[in-house]
Amino acid sequence: MKYLVVSDNHGDRQILLDLVERYKEKMDYFFHCGDSELDSHDKLWDTFIVVRGNCDYGGDFLERQTISTQQDIVYITHGHLSNVRFGLTQLSIEAKESNATISLFGHTHQIGCEVVDEILYLNPGSISQPRGPIQIPSYAVIDSTPDAFDVQYYNRAHHPVEELHFSFPKLTRE
């Protein structure tokens, strides 16, 4: 399964349109981790699974979602309600309660990717306002197979960022 993950575009609708146009036939799922600052009835949400960020006012976005795909259980939240600025402890509790194999979040505008206790935690960074040591507007593509997670980050020009490519073997859950 292939998943595109983006977050924190803060009103830049065009970049989301570009992603849909570029990847519509190549991805199984499109995830948006919040702070789109777009209307909750925007036609883009016909393509993206989206959650509410702390800058998404009004509308009827969900705070969290758990999505079962053919390959994974994906837990998605913006992260502000999970205190991700202070670590992944609360997020990991929520992901485990959802029986997730992947936990997606945004909020910090910082790229992050790691596997802990057989769960892939991924922050795609911000497509429009990156923060932290990696100053690249970014999104991520996860290729999930029965044996591994393969993660590639891309810049706003849709070029792979070679040093931001990660592969994690999957362990068999008992």
- Residues of the chain with pLDDT > 70: what percent? 98
Mean pLDDT score of the chain: 96
- Res. 148: pLDDT tops 70: yes
For range 119-133, the mean pLDDT: 97
**What mean pLDDT do residues 1-8 have?**
98
Length of the chain equals 174
Q: What is the pLDDT of residue 127?
A: 98
What pLDDT does residue 173 have? Answer: 54
pLDDT exceeds cutoff 60 at 174? no
Q: CA 172 to CA 129: how far, in whole Å?
A: 37
Confidence category of residue 172, pLDDT binned at 50, 70, 90: low
By the 8 A CB rule, do 140 and 146 touch?
A: no
Q: What is the pLDDT of residues 20-65, one digit of tens each?
A: 999 999 999 999 999 999 999 999 999 999 999 999 997 799 999 9
Please determine, for residue 73, whether its predicted confidence score (pLDDT) is greater than 90: yes
Sequence spans of domains, the chain: 2-169
- Tell me the fold of 2-169: Purple Acid Phosphatase; chain A, domain 2 (3.60.21)
d(CA 28, CA 102): 15
Question: How confident is the model at residue 55, as a pLDDT?
Answer: 97
